[in-house]
Amino acid sequence: MGNYSAQKPRVLLTEPIFPEVHKLLEQHTCLTIGERGTLNTENELLKQIAGYEGILSMLSNPFTAKVINAAQNLKVIANHAVGYNNIDTEACKKKNIRVANTPGVLTNATADGTLALMLSCLRNIPQADRFVRAAKFDGWHPTGFLGMELTGKNLGVLGLGQIGKAVATRCKAFGMQVFYHNRNRLSLNLEKELGVTYCASVEDLAKKADILTLHCPLTEETHHLIDKSVFSVMKNNAWLINATRGPVVKESDLAEALHSGKIAGAGLDVYEFEPHILDRLMSAPNTILLPHIASATRETRLKMGMLAAGAILKELCNTELEHNFVV
């Protein structure tokens, strides 16, 4: 549990990440590192939170108002993620607790991961791999594992922030037509520069898209934004890609759309009730399910850890490292 010192602030890292981050925090703080999975409930956090001045948290840690109100000495929570929907920021404001996240550093990795998921779906990569490993490959076949080309297809991007723009840029290189919907429309000059076309509603975007990829944050407005009303207007040969936040999609409606053939398929990296996945979604056809790895490169995840650690050290030790505060 660490050797406590009156000269150093107490910091909790909710689960192990990188040795480099551990070492940095240990140099300046009295660090406790939790075991993976043990702090993923409100009750467990309530037992632990009272003694710490800083916490480096994961998206799986629910810092509810009840947890925040139980904090006696807490000054900063740094989330190891670009999002922070697991933290009640209003409760933090009331207690003058700073909240930090890790935007920017995972843009390219997540965009690359989105393209990898997209191509895996459209070109039947996992199915073909399993076919070969099952010793079924008997040579080239003219109609084996036929997929869909990206060139000439319509990409619908829901949320054209940093990651959405990075995905759009990559897909333009594949010769795709890119449409988008945003809470706030981009300037006409920026639309021209990016080569994207605005759609006034989610439904309009869904109607046009051969591939609908989600990159909006999870908010009250975007919770279940993609549901049966959206699936009902999508093309029957269209695909859904989600590498943002699971609850943006109503998972039961998606499962029904997949089983009924309303849409062609889906590639998912995140889930509504993560880590639980609905049985009906698990059994859905033409679906690739990944374990939340779109940003999983060593370079990116290490940068995320160092950025979160930097925010904690800035707040508790006045140590100037890279950091980002949202509250």
Cβ-in-10-Å burial (0-12, 13-18, 19+) of 309 comes to buried
Per-residue pLDDT, 325: 60
Output the six-digit token pair for 129: 């791999």
pLDDT in tens, 192-236: 999 999 999 999 999 999 999 999 999 999 999 999 999 999 999
Mean pLDDT of 292-300: 95
Per-residue pLDDT, 219: 92
* 26, 203, 256, 274: the active-site residue: 274
Per-residue pLDDT, 91: 97
Mean pLDDT of 135-147: 96
Are the CB atoms for 100 and 311 separated by under 8 Å?
yes
Per-residue pLDDT, 324: 63
* 22, 123, 223, 292: the active-site residue: 292
Average pLDDT, the chain: 94
Residue 4 has pLDDT above 70, yes or no: no
Angle between helix axes 162-173 and 107-122 (nearest 10 degrees) is 50
Eight-class DSSP state of 82: S
Per-residue pLDDT, 3: 45
Mean pLDDT of 83-101: 95
* 245, 272, 315, 323: the active-site residue: 245
Q: List, in order of start, the domains of the chain with CATH numbers.
A: 10-103+298-317 (3.40.50.720), 107-289 (3.40.50.720)
pLDDT in tens, 248-290: 999 999 999 999 999 999 999 999 999 999 999 999 999 999 9
Per-residue pLDDT, 2: 46
- Provide DSSP, 138-178: -S--TTTT----STTPEEEEE--SHHHHHHHHHHHHTT-EE
Residue with tokens 């897909």: 171
Residue 153 has pLDDT above 80, yes or no: yes
Q: Based on the residue annotation, tell me whether 292 is a catalytic residue of this protein.
A: yes
Residue 318 has pLDDT above 90, yes or no: no
Tell me how far apart the alpha carbons of residues 123 and 105 are, in angstroms, rounded to a whole number.
29
Percentage of the chain surpassing pLDDT 70? 96
Tell me how far apart the alpha carbons of residues 257 and 20 are, in angstroms, rounded to a whole number.
45
Residues 6+ apart with CB under 8 A from 240: 211, 212, 213, 214, 226, 234, 249, 254, 263, 265, 266, 267
pLDDT in tens, 62-77: 999 999 999 999 999 9
Residue 111 has pLDDT above 90, yes or no: yes
Eight-class DSSP state of 72: S
Are the CB atoms for 307 and 322 separated by under 8 Å?
yes
Q: What are phi and psi of 318, to 5 degrees?
A: 55, 35
Q: Based on the residue annotation, tell me whether 149 is a catalytic residue of this protein.
A: no
Residue 1 has pLDDT above 50, yes or no: no
Tell me how far apart the alpha carbons of residues 136 and 74 are, in angstroms, rounded to a whole number.
58
Does the pTM exceed 0.85? yes
Tell me how far apart the alpha carbons of residues 180 and 165 are, in angstroms, rounded to a whole number.
10
Tell me how far apart the alpha carbons of residues 309 and 100 are, in angstroms, rounded to a whole number.
10
Q: Based on the residue annotation, tell me whether 223 is a catalytic residue of this protein.
A: no
Band (pLDDT 50/70/90 cuts) for residue 322 is: low
pLDDT in tens, 162-192: 999 999 999 999 999 999 999 999 999 999 9
Angle formed at CA 52 by CA 47 and CA 58, multiple of 5 degrees: 75
Assign residue 224 a region (left: φ > 0; alpha: ψ between -120 and 50; beta: otherwise): left
Q: What are phi and psi of 246, to 5 degrees?
A: -55, -45
